[in-house]
Amino acid sequence: MEAYLDNSATTCCYEQVKDVVVKTMMQDYGNPSAMHLKGVESEQYIKKATAQIAKTLKAEEKEIYFTSGGTESDNWALIGTALANQRAGKHIITTQIEHPAVSAPASYLEEQGFEVTRLGVDDKGRISLEELEDAIREDTILVSAMYVNNEVGIVLPIAEMGEIIKKKNPKTYFHVDAIQAYGKYRILPKKMNIDMLSVSGHKIHGPKGTGFLYINEKVKIIPYIHGGGQQKGMRSGTDNVPGVAGLGMASEMIYSKLEENVTHMRELKDYFVSELNKMDQVYIHGTTGAESAPHIISAAFKGVRSEVLLHTLEERQIYVSAGSACSTHKRSGSPTLTAMGVPKELMESTVRFSFCEMTTKEELDYTLQVIGEVLPMLRRYARH
Ligand SMILES: Cc1ncc(COP(=O)(O)O)c(C=O)c1O
C-alpha cells in the first residue's frame, strides 16, 4: 500500500485538469495573442479560467493576474508594491514564520534600503494583534502575512489583521500568501481588506508552475516581468494556456465541494492526532483545533532524526516531509519552529504530514501501524 501524506508540498492533478491541459497542448494550442481563429479559441481558455477564479474570491476578473506560481506571486506583490510606493514610505511588516517566497524578497528589499519589521509568534505560532497594531506607522506601505503556515498549519487571523491595518493606516496595503489556504477556506479579499492574494496551482490539484496574484484594482504596483505586454502589460510572457486552463479548472473544482473536503480532512486530522498522542514521546507542534488548518500536522518524534524517519517510511511507500519541503534546499533550521521556540532536539525530529481531499483513513492507519513498528527500533539505534 502507498500513503501520500505530503500534499502541502504538492498534490496530484484532478483528472479533469489533466484533460484540459492535454487538450490545450495538443488541439487548442494557439497563442492567445494571435489574431487568427486559433488564437481567439485559445484566448477563450484564459477568459474562462479568469472567470472561474474570480468567482471563488468574489473578485473582479480584471483583478486576476496569472503567474508561474506562488513564489512569483509573492515576489511580485512585495517587490512590485515596494518599488511603486517607496515615495510614500519604506516600511514593510511581515512575520517570522513566512515561507521563503515572502521572507527572501523581504530581505532583498531590506538590502535595497527598505525597513522590515518581522512580527514574532508565541509557542503555538500565533502572532499578537496588538503587536501588529503597534508596528503600523505612517510610512508603512505594506503588511505581508500568510493565511495558513506551511510548516505547522497555524491559521493567522487575516480578517482581524485586515481590519486593524486599514484602521491604523488606510494607505497600507495588505498582501496575503494564501498558498496553503486557497481551496481550504472561503477567502473574500474585499470583505477581509486584502489588497493582494497569492495562490499556487499545484497545491490545489492543478498543474505545477502555475499560480495567480489577485490585485485589487486600486493597488499601485509595477510589473515584475517586462516584455511583450501580455496581461495588460502587468505580466509579460506568452500566456501559459495549458497551465492557466488547468488552474481555472482546479479552482472551480476545489471550491465546488469545499465544505465536504474540509470536513473530511478535519476528521482525518482529529483521528491522526489522537492516535499520535497515544504514542510515547511524540509531540504535536502548534495547535490542533480551529486555529489550525485541516490538512497539516507537524509532529516531533523525540530521539529520531526527521530524515531517518522520513526515509524509513519511504521504504514502506509512505511519503511525508521533514518539517517543510523546502528544507532539502536549505541547511538552516525551520523558520517557523525556530520562531515558536521549539528546542533544537525536537526541531530535528519533526515530520510534517499533510492531507488532501483524496487522503483516506486506510492510508493513515497504515502510516500509524508502520510508525508504531519502526519507532522503538529507530530510537534504539539512535541511542547507540
Ligand atoms: C506558504 C507558501 N508560500 C509560497 C510557496 C511557494 O509556492 P510555489 O511552489 O508555487 O512557488 C509555498 C510552497 O510550498 C508555500 O507553502
- Residue 326 alpha carbon, nearest atom of ligand 1: 14
Which set of grid coordinates corresponds to residue 163?
481590519
Distance in Å, CA 374 to ligand 1 centroid: 31
- Note down pLDDT in tens along the chain; length 384 residues: 999 999 999 999 999 999 999 999 999 999 999 999 999 999 999 999 999 999 999 999 999 999 999 999 999 999 999 999 999 999 999 999 999 999 999 999 999 999 999 999 999 999 999 999 999 999 999 999 999 999 999 999 999 999 999 999 999 999 999 999 999 999 999 999 999 999 999 999 999 999 999 999 999 999 999 999 999 999 999 999 999 999 999 999 999 999 999 999 999 999 999 999 999 999 999 988 889 999 999 999 999 999 999 999 999 999 999 974 444 555 567 999 999 999 999 999 999 999 999 999 999 999 999 999 999 999 988 766
pLDDT digits (tens, 9 = 90+) for 53-108: 999 999 999 999 999 999 999 999 999 999 999 999 999 999 999 999 999 999 99
pLDDT digits (tens, 9 = 90+) for 343-360: 999 999 999 999 999 999
Distance in Å, CA 179 to ligand 1 centroid: 6
- Is 162 near ligand 1, meaning CB less than 6 Å away? no
Q: Considering only CA atoms, which of 131, 200, 113, 184 is closest in space to residue 339?
A: 131
- Is 146 near ligand 1, meaning CB less than 6 Å away? yes
Residue 289 has a pLDDT of: 87
Q: How far apart are CA 204 and CA 181, in angstroms?
A: 10
Q: Which CATH number fits domain 3-11+258-383: 3.40.50.620, 3.40.50.720, 3.90.1150.10, 1.10.10.10?
A: 3.90.1150.10
Q: What are the residue ranges of helices labelled H in the chain?
A: 15-26, 37-57, 70-75, 81-85, 100-111, 129-135, 158-168, 241-256, 258-277, 306-315, 335-339, 344-347, 361-383
**Same topology between domain 3-11+258-383 and domain 15-256:** no
* Residue of the CA atom closest to atom 8 of ligand 1: 70
- Is 177 near ligand 1, meaning CB less than 6 Å away? yes
- Is 189 near ligand 1, meaning CB less than 6 Å away? no
Q: Considering only CA atoms, which of 296, 373, 294 is closest in space to residue 336?
A: 296
Query: Domain limits of the chain?
Result: 3-11+258-383, 15-256
Top-tier CATH class for 15-256: alpha beta
* pTM exceeds 0.75, yes or no: yes
- Residue 10 alpha carbon, nearest atom of ligand 1: 14
- Is 295 near ligand 1, meaning CB less than 6 Å away? no
Catalytic positions? 326
- Residue 98 alpha carbon, nearest atom of ligand 1: 1
Q: Considering only CA atoms, which of 144, 147, 99, 153 is closest in space to residue 326?
A: 99
